[in-house]
Amino acid sequence: MDFSLDTKIIKPENNKIKNVIILLHGYGGDGNDISAITLNWKRFLPDTIFFCPDGHEICPINPSGFQWFDLSKDDQNYILNESIRAEKKINYFINEIKLKYKLKNSNICISGFSQGCMMSINLGLTAEENFNCVVGFSGKIIDKENIAKRIKSKTKMLLIHGDLDPVVPPNNLLEAKDFLIRNKVNVETKMIENCGHNIPIEASSFALNYIKKNLYI
């Protein structure tokens, strides 16, 4: 089966598929970039298949990479509308995966870095039913006022951020945590010391333990 988004797929060695992890890259990245995290994770997550899709648009500042929504205009309404359009594209892709492997949202973890984290949070809050969990690195909530009106589900979340992040300042982690708690979403957070806008081993390992705890209940 061909999927609506070009995607890198990492299958479990035993070919038994009970769970899915979808990894969404950051602005200007691609599925191959973020798939590097699976090198460690897959050893500890048997029966799990990983999907690392490319964003549906070429990134104008890095034509070899992709984006989930355009950041070239300093216009918050435009950015919001583009991110909602991306939600629809990713949801369609997720439904394709569910149909192919006969799985439910409860079998799916959505994880993302930076812009991919922003999309993961939105997907976790607007789905018709909860996903297993969301794990976000170095992101933020795109538009709190808008997403508050669109909450349909309350997928539990882990959000991780570097305390020295120069791209998405770390105060966004605290703001997201406050928003999610006020909306009765089960959220855990982790601030990584001396970390910029990247996913160090400490963050990857912390996320892996959270995913194991939730996917293998």
Burial of 145 (0-12, 13-18, 19+ CB in 10 A): exposed
Residue 108 has pLDDT above 70, yes or no: yes
Rounded to two decimals, the pTM is 0.97
Q: How far apart are CA 150 and CA 208, in angstroms?
A: 29
- Stated as kind and residue range, the H or E segment containing 210 is helix 201-215
Per-residue pLDDT averaged across 52-79, rounded?
93
What is the structure's pLDDT at 15?
85
Q: What are phi and psi of 170, to 5 degrees?
A: -65, -20
Domains of the chain: 7-215 (3.40.50.1820)
Tens digits of per-residue pLDDT, 128-162? Answer: 999 999 999 999 999 999 999 999 999 999 999 99
Question: DSSP string of 105-157?
Answer: GGGEEEEEETHHHHHHHHHHHHSSS--SEEEEES---S-HHHHHHH------E
What is the structure's pLDDT at 72?
84
Question: DSSP string of 33-59?
Answer: HHGGGHHHHGGG-TTEEEEEEPPSEEE
Q: Tell me how crowded residue 87 is: count the other CB atoms within 10 A of its CB.
A: 18
Confidence of residue 216 (pLDDT cuts 50, 70, 90): confident
